Amino acid sequence: MARVGLTPERLTQAGAELADEVGFDQVTVSALARRFDVKVASLYSHVKNSQDLRTRIALLALTELADRAADALAGRAGKEALAALANVYRDYAREHPGRYAAAQLRLDPQTAAASAGVRHAQMTRALLRGYDLTEPDQTHAVRLLGSVFHGYVSLEMGGGFSHSAPDTDDTWARILDALDTLLRNWPAPPTDPRG
């Protein structure tokens, strides 16, 4: 009956490690209890339920990711900043696949609004200040960058690119070039919308 010293923080941290090892959807209250060599019910004093645990892991991941992003953007601008931010996402997903998956968890609006998720959008906006975009184009660009970063990382991790020939690092570099070019020459709205 020795006390192990469980806290919500330690559980969240261990849950994140577990996620990276076995996948976020394999993160279970039972598995976490095993990891602490403790009975399952004991966790319920620290975490409301399974959902709560997963949400905490997601928030941890979002915060870590935002911290890394802030770090990477510091002192950089233009294409350098673009590449730095992009690589933060890709590298984080590679180092911490479970956490990255957790960061994709759908949060309820209030939780999402209070999360580090908003910092991500702000940082992408900050990065775009190095390009010449005004609203609403800036928001469009924010969404495009988010889509490319998330989409690429997600497909690459899922093995979607594994069969084909060119190295994914090459593709990644070329995509960043392309985005840089695109942002420097952002096309004006067309006359005939959405053909």
154 forms part of the interface with a copy of itself (CB under 8 A): yes
On whether the CB atoms of residues 44 and 81 are closer than 8 A, the answer is no
173 forms part of the interface with a copy of itself (CB under 8 A): yes
Q: Which residue in the block uniquely carries the two structure tokens 């915060």?
A: 63
Distance CA 82, CA 73 (A): 8
190 forms part of the interface with a copy of itself (CB under 8 A): yes
- Give me the amino acid identity at 23: G
Which of the ranges 41-49, 52-60, 66-74, 135-143 carries the binding residues for a copy of itself, by CB under 8 A?
Answer: 135-143
Binding mask of the shown chain, residues 56 to 95, with x at each position contacting a copy of itself by CB under 8 A: -----------------------xx--x------------
In this complex, which beta carbon is closest to DNA, that of residue 98 or of residue 117? 98
In this complex, which beta carbon is closest to a copy of itself, that of residue 9 or of residue 170? 170
* Torsional sign, CA 86, 91, 94, 97: negative
On whether the CB atoms of residues 88 and 65 are closer than 8 A, the answer is yes
In this complex, which beta carbon is closest to a copy of itself, that of residue 42 or of residue 147? 147
In this complex, which beta carbon is closest to DNA, that of residue 6 or of residue 59? 6
How many CB atoms neighbour CB 56 within 10 A?
20
- Give me the amino acid identity at 60: L
Which residue ranges make up the site for DNA (CB under 7 A)? 1-6, 28-31, 38-42, 44-46, 48-51
| Chosen residue from 4, 22, 113, 114 binding a copy of itself by CB under 8 A | 113
In this complex, which beta carbon is closest to DNA, that of residue 44 or of residue 177? 44
In this complex, which beta carbon is closest to a copy of itself, that of residue 30 or of residue 147? 147
With a CB cutoff of 8 Å and minimum separation 6, the contacts of 138 are 125, 128
With a CB cutoff of 8 Å and minimum separation 6, the contacts of 69 are 85, 88, 89, 119, 120, 123
Give the count of residues interacting with a copy of itself (CB under 8 A): 58
- Shortest Cβ 6–a copy of itself spacing (Å): 27
- Give me the amino acid identity at 165: A
140 forms part of the interface with a copy of itself (CB under 8 A): yes
114 forms part of the interface with a copy of itself (CB under 8 A): no
Contacts 24+ apart (CB under 8 A), 106-114: 107/55, 107/58, 107/59, 111/55, 111/59
Tokens at 74, concatenated: 């510091």
